[in-house]
């Protein structure tokens, strides 16, 4: 694990780092950012046959469980039927001012490099755990070209970075990090495991939701 005054980088799969939420200014919102490189774009007919005509575009999402036991996912593709009560609504981006207290700011990366995608968490002690993931909705899995990094930002604390590294898996879905919440702290664990789909990841991490095909 690499630590400096500005950030903590969790380098090894399975390693964790905790943030003390009792510190001054630590009750501010939590920002989860996914950023990545777009890779080297190739042009031409043969490049299109090899899937090299378009820049790499990752989609950020999360599984979440609230303190009342309700569970669902938030991302640009909404598959889950959920398993909770009236709070477990089918929304693509979530909601910040009410349950689930998690807001995906949108798939606004576009064709130009920028600040990536963000999920903002309302720090009101209603969330039990999250698994942060990204996936490639269309095209070939080119993880090695993405240099994907998830950064968890809490005011008054160094940023926590979880790097994907130069991965070469052919699966298009990657669970990057798990976040466990308590009233006094949050713990971030590096996962970086690859899966065929949301439901495949669900089974590995015991979320127990029902799934049906969806689209953007």
Only one residue has tokens 């501010």, namely 28
Considering the domain boundaries, does residue 214 fall inside one?
Answer: no
- Report yes or no on 127 lying in a domain: yes
Question: Looking at residue 43, what is its pLDDT?
Answer: 45
- Tell me: pLDDT of 177 over 50: yes
pLDDT band for position 39 (cuts 50, 70, 90): low
- Check which CATH number belongs to the domain holding 45 and give it: 2.60.60.30
| Enclosing domain of residue 45 | 2-204
pLDDT digits (tens, 9 = 90+) for 47-92: 445 455 566 778 899 999 999 999 999 986 654 445 443 334 445 6
Identify whether the C-beta of residue 174 lies closer than 8 Å to the C-beta of residue 131.
Answer: no
Q: pTM surpassing 0.85?
A: no
Cβ contacts of 82-90, under 8 Å, gap ≥ 24: 82/209, 82/210, 83/208, 83/209, 83/210
Instruction: Please check whether residue 116 lies inside any domain of the structure.
Output: yes
What is the reported pLDDT for 80? 45
Does the residue 210 lie in any domain?
no
In a domain, 77, yes or no: yes
How far is 53 from 30, CA to CA, in rounded Å?
36
pLDDT in tens, 118-176: 999 998 889 999 999 998 877 778 898 888 899 999 888 899 999 988 888 999 999 99
Q: How far is CA 53 from CA 42, 45, 179, in A?
A: 5, 9, 36
The total number of structural domains in the chain stands at 1
Q: Is the pLDDT of residue 109 over 70?
A: no
Alpha helices in the chain (DSSP H): 45-49, 198-204
């Amino acid at each position: 694990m690499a630590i400096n005054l500005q950030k903590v980088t969790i380098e090894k799969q399975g390693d964790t780092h905790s943030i003390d939420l009792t510190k001054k200014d630590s009750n501010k919102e939590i920002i989860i950012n996914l950023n990545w490189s777009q890779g080297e774009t190739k042009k031409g007919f043969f490049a299109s046959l090899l899937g090299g005509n378009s820049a790499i575009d990752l989609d950020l999402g999360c599984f979440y469980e609230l303190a009342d036991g309700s569970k669902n996912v938030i991302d640009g593709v909404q598959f889950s039927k959920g398993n909770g009560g009236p709070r477990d609504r089918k929304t693509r981006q979530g909601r910040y001012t009410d349950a689930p207290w998690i807001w995906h700011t949108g798939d606004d990366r576009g064709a130009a490099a920028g600040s990536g995608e963000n999920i903002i968490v309302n720090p009101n002690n209603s969330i039990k755990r999250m698994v942060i993931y990204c996936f490639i909705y269309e095209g070939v899995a080119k993880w090695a070209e993405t240099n994907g990094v998830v950064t968890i930002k809490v005011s008054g604390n160094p940023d926590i970075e979880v790097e994907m590294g130069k991965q070469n898996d052919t699966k298009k879905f990657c669970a990057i990090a798990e976040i466990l919440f308590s009233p006094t702290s949050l713990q971030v664990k590096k996962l970086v495991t690859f899966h065929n789909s949301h439901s495949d990841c669900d089974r590995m991490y015991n979320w127990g939701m029902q799934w049906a095909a969806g689209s953007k």
